[in-house]
Amino acid sequence: MSIESTREAQFWENEKGAVRCSLCHQQCRIRPSKRGLCAVRENQDGKLITLVYGNLIAANIDPIEKKPFFHLLPGSLAYSIATVGCNFTCLHCQNADISQLPRETGQIPGQFVPPGEVVALAKAEGCLSIAYTYSEPTIFFEYAFDVAGMARESDLRNVFVSNGYIGEEAAQKIIPVLDGINIDLKGDDQFYRKVCGAKLEPVQNNIERFWKNGVWVEVTTLIIPSYNDSEQTLMDIAEFLAGVSPDMPWHVSAFYPRHKMLDVPATGIESLRLALRIGRKAGLKYVYAGNVPGESENTSCSNCGEVLIRRQGYMILKNSLLEGRCGKCGTALPGVWSQQNS
């Protein structure tokens, strides 16, 4: 952690020496010299300080499909960045080595990279977007917001890969510079409380908020055996998403043992196929299976059934979209297909 990475945070107020952080729905009350649940925002002399501004722990070039986004600039590259820290405590976290590190060790490793340098690197590498990912982008909000503003000026798209727990004020601030967000909808409320240290309702509210405010939303559910794989749980998720919009893509992904769930078996293909059937029955037009190449990963026209985007893993084998429309019948495919920001 460098001096450059330490600066006053946004979204807080003083409460008699303690500070109340409203950046996310954890609403942490932080006593002097202590940190919030994310472990990267600290009460220093009655002010809330972010300890991770520009303090990157990861900067990689990824296919946009890896996020996953299937209806946003398919086949393009995303410059993907993250700091350490997270506002969830998921037992199955696949990136626990960076997301949980500050909470478990108190350490905040990383290298300071100015916002403008991120944008320049993304452009130099031929990326069409910047993805704020790996850990939870909400916890490095101040930095993400500054990078996103510069990215917009350089005709780069901005996408969050998020747990969807961002606070309302912060969400409204980021919406004007955010093009897409993939939100994990992990399970029912019991799952959130037991496995993630959070609640379901704020996540659902944010899925609706971003969609209704014009941010392209895709949703991912990691299906974990005996935790969130019941027919009722999957039906509740699918029906909620269809109620927001049947055009919203739903990615159902296979779990593999991670972090504190090493004794839980990997997800079987039948669980994914059940979720696919449930999603389609609920009225969702675009339901995809993740982590299983060759299983329901193509995008077809909802009108005529023509395969418009054929995928194999993260590779695009075919893309017959014509300015966002089906090349066969002309039906518009919902998504973000242009590099230029509107």
Whole-number pLDDT of residue 1: 63
Q: Are strands 77-82 and 47-50 parallel, antiparallel or unpaired?
A: unpaired
- What is the rounded CA–CA span in Å between residue 94 and residue 74? 24
Whole-number pLDDT of residue 17: 83
Whole-number pLDDT of residue 12: 98
Whole-number pLDDT of residue 16: 87
Residue 251 in contact with residue 238, Cβ under 8 Å? no
Phi, psi angles (nearest 5°) of residue 79? -80, 115
- What is the rounded CA–CA span in Å between residue 328 and residue 342? 27
pTM exceeds 0.75 for this model: yes
Q: What sign does the dihedral 231-233-238-240 (CA atoms) show? A: positive
Give the residue-averaged pLDDT of 313-334. Answer: 95
Q: Which residue has the higher pLDDT, 248 or 292?
A: 248
Instruction: List, for residues 143-153, the tens digit of each pLDDT value.
Output: 999 999 999 99
Q: Is the pLDDT of residue 140 over 70?
A: yes
Give the residue-averaged pLDDT of 314-327. Answer: 95
Whole-number pLDDT of residue 135: 96
- What is the rounded CA–CA span in Å between residue 68 and residue 3? 34
Instruction: List, for residues 57-71, the tens digit of each pLDDT value.
Output: 999 999 999 999 999
Which residues, 6 or more positions from 198, have their beta carbon under 8 angstroms from its beta carbon?
25, 26, 87, 88, 163, 165, 192
Whole-number pLDDT of residue 292: 84
Residue 175 in contact with residue 181, Cβ under 8 Å? no
In the chain, the percentage of residues whose pLDDT exceeds 70 is: 99
- Confidence band (pLDDT; 50, 70, 90) for 342? very low
Coarse DSSP helix, strand, coil percentages of the chain, rounded to the nearest 5 percent? 30, 25, 45
Instruction: List, for residues 296-320, the tens digit of each pLDDT value.
Output: 999 999 999 999 999 998 999 999 9
| Mean pLDDT over each residue of the chain, to the nearest integer | 96
Whole-number pLDDT of residue 294: 85
Instruction: List, for residues 38-58, the tens digit of each pLDDT value.
Output: 999 999 999 999 999 999 999
Q: Is the pLDDT of residue 157 over 50?
A: yes
Instruction: List, for residues 260-278, the tens digit of each pLDDT value.
Output: 999 999 999 999 999 999 9
Q: Is the pLDDT of residue 173 over 60?
A: yes
Instruction: List, for residues 182-223, the tens digit of each pLDDT value.
Output: 999 999 999 999 999 999 999 999 999 999 999 999 999 999
Whole-number pLDDT of residue 4: 87
Q: Is the pLDDT of residue 249 over 50?
A: yes
